[in-house]
Structure 1
Amino acid sequence: MRFLSAGQVAKLVNVPREARPYYRALAGAVRGAILDGQIPVRVRMPAERHLAEELRVSRTTVTSAYDQLREQGYLDSRQGSGSWTALPDPATSADNPWLSGNDDGLLQLHCAAPPAPSQLHQAMHEAVDDAARFGMGNGYDPMGLAALRERVAAHYGRRGVATRPEQILITTGSQHAMQLVMSLLVGAGDTVLVESPTYPHAIDVARQRGARIAATGVSHEGWQADLLAGALRQSGAGLAYLMPDFQNPTGALVDEATRAAVAGAARRTGSTLLIDETWAELALEDLPRTAPMAAFDTDSRVISIGSASKLWWGGLRIGWIRSTEALTRRLAAQRATVDIASPVLEQLVVARLFDRLEETRAERCRTLRASRDGLVAALRRHLPGWEFTVPRGGGTLWVRLAEGGATPFAEAAATHGVRLAPGPWFGLEGALESYLRLPFTQPPAVLAEAVLRLAAAREQGPVGPRPADTLIPMV
Structure 2
Amino acid sequence: MDRSDLITMAEWHTTVTPPALARLLAAARLPEPAGHRPAYRTLAGQVRTLVSEGRLPVGARLPAERELAAALTLSRTTVATAYEALRAEGYLHSRRGAGSWTALPEGARPPSDAMHPVPPDEQDQTLDLGVAALPAPQPYLGEAAARAVEQLPAYAAGHGCYPTGLPVLREAIARRFTARGLPTTPDQILVTTGAMGALHLVLRALLGRGDRVAVEAPTYAHTLQALRLGGSRLVPVPHAWPGGPERLPLWDVAEWQRVLRGAAPKVAYVIPDFHNPTGTLITEEQRRRLLAAARAAGTVVLVDETTAELGWGSADDAPMPRPTAALDRGAHVVTVGSASKLLWGGLRIGWVRAAPSFVRRLAVDRVYSDVGTPVLDQLIAAALLGDPLPDVRSHQLQRLRATAAALTAGLRERLPGWRFAEPPGGLCLWLATDGVSGSALAAAGERGGVRIAAGTRFGSDGAFENFIRVPLTVPAAAVPAAVERLAAVAARAAAGEHWPAAEDRPPLAV
TM-score by length of 2: 0.72
Q: Which residue number corresponds to residue 159 of structure 1?
A: 180
Residues 348-387 of structure 1 mapped to structure 2, 5 A cutoff: 348-355=379-386, 356-387=388-419
Q: Which amino acid aligns with 1:97?
A: M
Determine helix, strand or coil for the equivalent of 1:143.
coil
Q: Which residue number corresponds to residue 143 of structure 1?
A: 164
Q: Give, in whole Å, the separation in 2 of the partners of 1:244 and 1:103.
A: 36
Q: Give, in whole Å, the separation in 2 of the partners of 1:236 and 1:301.
A: 14
Q: Aligned pair in 2 of structure 1 residues 306, 91: CA closer, same or farther (>3 Å)?
A: farther
Aligned with 1:333 (options 364, 367, 392): 364
Q: Aligned pair in 2 of structure 1 residues 130, 230: CA closer, same or farther (>3 Å)?
A: same
Contact 2:117–2:128 (8 Å) recurs in 1: no
Aligned with 1:462 (options 485, 495, 500): 495
Determine helix, strand or coil for the equivalent of 2:276.
coil
Determine helix, strand or coil for the equivalent of 1:114.
coil
Q: Which residue number corresponds to residue 241 of structure 1?
A: 269
Contact 2:213–2:266 (8 Å) recurs in 1: yes
Contact 1:91–1:426 (8 Å) recurs in 2: no
Q: Which residue number corresponds to residue 449 of structure 2?
A: 417
Q: Which residue number corresponds to residue 271 of structure 1?
A: 299
Q: Give, in whole Å, the separation in 1 of the partners of 2:410 and 2:107.
A: 34
Determine helix, strand or coil for the equivalent of 1:363.
helix
Q: Which is further off, 212-221 or 194-203?
A: 212-221
Q: Aligned pair in 2 of structure 1 residues 188, 101: CA closer, same or farther (>3 Å)?
A: farther
Runs of 4+ aligned residues of structure 1 deviating over 6 Å after TM superposition are none
Q: Which amino acid aligns with 2:439?
A: T
Contact 1:308–1:314 (8 Å) recurs in 2: yes
Q: Which residue number corresponds to residue 296 of structure 1?
A: 327
Q: Which amino acid aligns with 1:387?
A: R
Residues 402-413 of structure 1 mapped to structure 2, 5 A cutoff: 402-413=434-445
Q: Give, in whole Å, the separation in 2 of the partners of 1:240 and 1:422.
A: 24
Determine helix, strand or coil for the equivalent of 2:303.
strand
Q: Give, in whole Å, the separation in 2 of the partners of 1:265 and 1:325.
A: 24
Q: Which residue number corresponds to residue 285 of structure 2?
A: 257
* Cα drift, residue 211 of structure 1: 1.1
Question: Which digits, 9 at most, give the CA deviation of each residue in 1:422-472, with x for residues without a partner?
Answer: 10011123210010000011201322211101212233443799xxxxxxx
Question: Which digits, 9 at most, give the CA deviation of each residue in 1:197-219, with x for residues without a partner?
Answer: 11111112212221111111235
Q: Which residue number corresponds to residue 449 of structure 1?
A: 481
Contact 1:282–1:365 (8 Å) recurs in 2: yes
Residues 391-402 of structure 1 mapped to structure 2, 5 A cutoff: 391-402=423-434
Q: Give, in whole Å, the separation in 2 of the partners of 1:277 and 1:464.
A: 41
Higher relative contact order (CA 8 A, sep 6+): 1
Q: Which is further off, 141-150 or 281-290?
A: 281-290
Q: Give, in whole Å, the separation in 2 of the partners of 1:293 and 1:111.
A: 26
Q: Which is further off, 181-190 or 197-206?
A: 197-206
Q: Which amino acid aligns with 2:403?
A: S
Determine helix, strand or coil for the equivalent of 2:367.
helix
Q: Give, in whole Å, the separation in 2 of the partners of 1:200 and 1:87.
A: 18
Q: Aligned pair in 2 of structure 1 residues 463, 222: CA closer, same or farther (>3 Å)?
A: closer
Share of identical aligned residues, percent?
A: 40
Residues 30-45 of structure 1 mapped to structure 2, 5 A cutoff: none
Residues 8-27 of structure 1 mapped to structure 2, 5 A cutoff: none
* Cα drift, residue 189 of structure 1: 1.2
Determine helix, strand or coil for the equivalent of 2:337.
strand
RMSD, aligned α-carbons: 1.9
Q: Give, in whole Å, the separation in 1 of the partners of 2:234 and 2:127.
A: 33
Determine helix, strand or coil for the equivalent of 1:337.
coil
Contact 2:291–2:331 (8 Å) recurs in 1: no
Q: Give, in whole Å, the separation in 2 of the partners of 1:442 and 1:386.
A: 19
Q: Aligned pair in 2 of structure 1 residues 257, 300: CA closer, same or farther (>3 Å)?
A: closer
Determine helix, strand or coil for the equivalent of 1:398.
strand
Q: Aligned pair in 2 of structure 1 residues 187, 100: CA closer, same or farther (>3 Å)?
A: farther
Residues 92-111 of structure 1 mapped to structure 2, 5 A cutoff: 92=112, 94=113, 96-98=114-116, 104=122, 105-111=125-131
Q: Which residue number corresponds to residue 317 of structure 1?
A: 348
* Cα drift, residue 90 of structure 1: 2.0
Q: Give, in whole Å, the separation in 2 of the partners of 1:254 and 1:464.
A: 41
Alignment pair present for 1:204 and 2:230: no
Question: Which digits, 9 at most, give the CA deviation of each residue in 1:386-430, with x for residues without a partner?
Answer: 000001101100000112211112222333321100100111232
Contact 1:221–1:254 (8 Å) recurs in 2: no
Unaligned runs of 5+ in 2: 1-51, 53-104, 242-247, 499-510
Q: Aligned pair in 2 of structure 1 residues 357, 350: CA closer, same or farther (>3 Å)?
A: same
Contact 1:423–1:433 (8 Å) recurs in 2: yes
Q: Give, in whole Å, the separation in 1 of the partners of 2:260 and 2:376.
A: 41
Aligned with 1:113 (options 123, 128, 133): 133
Q: Aligned pair in 2 of structure 1 residues 171, 206: CA closer, same or farther (>3 Å)?
A: same
Q: Give, in whole Å, the separation in 2 of the partners of 1:288 and 1:227.
A: 28
Pairs aligned (count) = 380
Q: Give, in whole Å, the separation in 1 of the partners of 2:259 and 2:496.
A: 45
Q: Which is further off, 258-267 or 453-462?
A: 453-462
Q: Which amino acid aligns with 1:241?
A: Y
Q: Which residue number corresponds to residue 225 of structure 1?
A: 253
Q: Give, in whole Å, the separation in 2 of the partners of 1:142 and 1:464.
A: 53
* Cα drift, residue 340 of structure 1: 0.4
Alignment pair present for 1:90 and 2:110: yes
* Cα drift, residue 305 of structure 1: 0.7
Q: Which residue number corresponds to residue 64 of structure 1?
A: none
Contact 1:300–1:323 (8 Å) recurs in 2: no
Question: Which digits, 9 at most, give the CA deviation of each residue in 1:125-149, with x for residues without a partner?
Answer: 1000011111111101101000000
Q: Which is further off, 400-409 or 304-313?
A: 400-409
Alignment pair present for 1:215 and 2:240: no
Q: Which amino acid aligns with 1:392?
A: P
* Cα drift, residue 100 of structure 1: 7.4
Contact 1:91–1:200 (8 Å) recurs in 2: no
Unaligned runs of 5+ in 1: 1-34, 36-84, 466-475
Q: Aligned pair in 2 of structure 1 residues 463, 188: CA closer, same or farther (>3 Å)?
A: closer
